[in-house]
């Protein structure tokens, strides 16, 4: 393993203390963290981050989409800004590091710059994006979409399980959905975006490395399949006369697993499933389930999607089941820029860590920003590769190393014009 540099700037104790404090918001006893978008828990998390930003000497504001922004000025007035950050919303029963490490690590990096008297030509902003995860509305990256001007009016009518729309949730949080377009950044106003994030996989752990530089982000397609058969009595309906929507769904899910597994690079996940009527002695008449399909190669992903769609249609027709398919989200894979990869790689080399490059199978807000500016990511080792899980864990030492790489990367990106 490469020799590590002893020249460290980051206050690891302060970073770890803040991560620990933030992890208490939205946590139920014995469970993980749940901070859905536009809820009291997300608001409390943003308020706590606001206090950290002010301690770091940043100028704090929120935009029309609820993105929380802390700004450190540069020497050159009007220069394009360097963005860094992540999110503080979570999946249901999630972990402590997915999102918060990128936000609090960015705050720590800028606070150290202030304490060390580091000046940059370009301004740097820490962004806490609204609703990256999509856990509430099955539609994510709301804040980053708004920042690049691609959050459409029809996106705001999407509803959660209680029938509350994105627009309604925004109003409940004191935001005006009619003004969300004001969050869009002008062309050429952003120089680069860099995000620190836990890997959410096992590659760094397997390579015995604390950090890595991301080459690109896999593109997800989110679909919902609705299968409608016939609810009937479980005891009086012969097997040959049934139109069991759940039995059809089970066959479909098996095909999803087979088709996604054929490529060696694709992944397919059914994470949500609802059935009706739900009685122990009633044949299910209607089943709705989700599909999250991803690959770093868009053409490969789309071919897998087409094969799955054909199999779903065939299986439903054979069983006399009506089929509806809804596309919830479709994002192309996004390569990380040479600009950010180069700066992050140089930071890793200065610390004696490589650089080691790897792709991201998970989606991130940077995917949305790729049309606005060069983007890049730095990954931190995840214990056992766990994420979206209460046992998600990255060590204090690894988090500090990741923030050190981020700190040096931001200085490189912001220092010269």
Alpha-carbon distances, residue 137 vs 59, 86, 121, 155 (angstroms)? 31, 19, 40, 10
- What was the pLDDT predicted at 4? 45
- What was the pLDDT predicted at 7? 52
Count the Cβ atoms, other than its own, within 10 Å of residue 40: 12
Q: Could you tell me which CATH number the domain at 219-330 has?
A: 3.30.70.360
- What was the pLDDT predicted at 52? 98
Residue bearing tokens 């039995």: 247
CA gap 152, 16 in Å, rounded: 38
What residues does 220 pair with on adjacent strands? 294
* Burial (0-12, 13-18, 19+ Cβ within 10 Å), 67: buried
Burial pattern 272-304, b for ≥16 Cβ within 10 A else e, equals: eeebeeeeeeebbbbbbbbbbbbbbebebbbbb
Query: What pLDDT digit, counting tens, does each position of 261-288 carry?
Result: 999 989 999 999 999 999 999 999 999 9
CATH superfamily of 12-218+333-415: Zn peptidases (3.40.630.10)
Burial pattern 190-205, b for ≥16 Cβ within 10 A else e, equals: bbbbbbbbbbbbebbb
Orientation of helix 100-116 relative to helix 40-55, angle to 10°: 20
Q: What is the mean pLDDT of each run of 10 residues along the chain (417 residues)?
A: 54 98 90 96 98 98 98 96 98 96 98 96 98 94 97 96 97 97 97 98 96 94 97 97 98 96 94 96 98 94 97 97 95 94 97 91 93 98 95 97 98 87
Query: What pLDDT digit, counting tens, does each position of 17-35 carry?
Result: 999 999 999 998 678 999 9
Kindly provide the residue ranges of all beta strands, DSSP E only, lying in 235-380, ordered along the sequence: 267-269, 273-276, 282-283, 286-295, 322-330, 334-335, 357-360, 375-380
Nearest to 377 by CA among 353, 352, 402, 394: 402
CA gap 132, 121 in Å, rounded: 30
All residues at 6 or more sequence positions from 41 whose CB lies less than 8 Å from its CB, including other chains: 25, 26, 34, 35
Structural tokens at position 207: 């390579």
- What was the pLDDT predicted at 239? 97
Nearest to 127 by CA among 75, 179, 74, 196: 196
CA gap 341, 359 in Å, rounded: 12
Query: What pLDDT digit, counting tens, does each position of 61-105 carry?
Result: 999 999 999 999 999 999 999 999 999 999 999 999 999 999 999
Say if residues 14 and 115 touch (Cβ distance below 8 Å).
no
Q: From the centroid of its chain, how far is CA 80?
A: 25
Q: Where are the domains of the chain?
A: 12-218+333-415, 219-330
- What was the pLDDT predicted at 6? 43
């Amino acid at each position: 393993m490469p020799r590590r540099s002893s020249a460290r700037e980051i206050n690891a104790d302060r970073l770890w203390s803040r991560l620990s404090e933030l992890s208490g918001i939205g946590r139920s006893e014995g469970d993980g963290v749940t901070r859905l978008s536009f809820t009291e828990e997300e608001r409390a998390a943003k308020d706590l981050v606001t206090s950290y930003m002010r301690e770091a000497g940043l100028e704090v504001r929120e935009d029309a989409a609820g993105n929380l922004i802390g700004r450190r000025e540069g020497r050159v007035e009007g220069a394009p800004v360097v963005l860094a950050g992540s999110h503080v919303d979570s999946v249901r029963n999630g972990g402590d590091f997915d999102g918060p490490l990128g936000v609090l690590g960015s705050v720590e990096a800028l606070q150290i710059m202030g304490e060390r008297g580091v000046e940059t030509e370009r301004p740097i902003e820490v962004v806490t994006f609204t609703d990256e995860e999509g856990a509430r509305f099955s539609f994510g990256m709301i804040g980053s979409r708004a920042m690049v001007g691609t959050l459409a009016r029809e996106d705001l009518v999407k509803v959660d399980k209680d029938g509350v729309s994105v627009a309604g949730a925004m109003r409940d949080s004191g935001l005006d959905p009619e003004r969300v377009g004001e969050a869009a950044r002008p062309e050429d106003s952003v120089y680069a975006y860099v995000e620190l994030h836990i890997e959410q996989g096992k590659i760094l752990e397997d390579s015995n490395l604390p950090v890595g530089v991301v080459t690109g982000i896999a593109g997800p397609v989110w679909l919902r399949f609705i299968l409608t058969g016939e609810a009937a009595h479980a005891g009086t309906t012969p097997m040959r006369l049934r139109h069991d929507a759940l039995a059809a769904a089970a066959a479909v899910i098996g095909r999803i697993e087979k088709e996604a597994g054929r490529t060696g690079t694709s992944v397919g996940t059914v994470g949500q499933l609802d059935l009706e009527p739900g009685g122990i002695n009633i044949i299910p008449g209607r089943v709705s389930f989700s599909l999250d399909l991803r690959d770093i190669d868009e053409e490969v992903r789309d071919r897998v999607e087409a094969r799955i769609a054909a199999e779903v249609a065939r299986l439903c027709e054979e069983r006399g089941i009506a089929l509806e398919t809804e596309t919830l989200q479709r994002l192309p894979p996004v390569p990380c820029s040479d600009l950010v990869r180069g700066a992050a790689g140089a930071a890793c080399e200065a610390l004696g860590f490589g650089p080691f490059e790897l792709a991201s199978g998970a989606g991130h807000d940077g995917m949305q920003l790729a049309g606005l500016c060069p983007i890049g990511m730095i990954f931190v080792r995840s214990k056992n590769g766990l994420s979206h899980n209460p046992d998600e864990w990255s060590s204090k030492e690894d988090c500090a190393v990741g923030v050190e790489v981020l700190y040096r990367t931001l200085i490189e990106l912001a220092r010269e014009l």
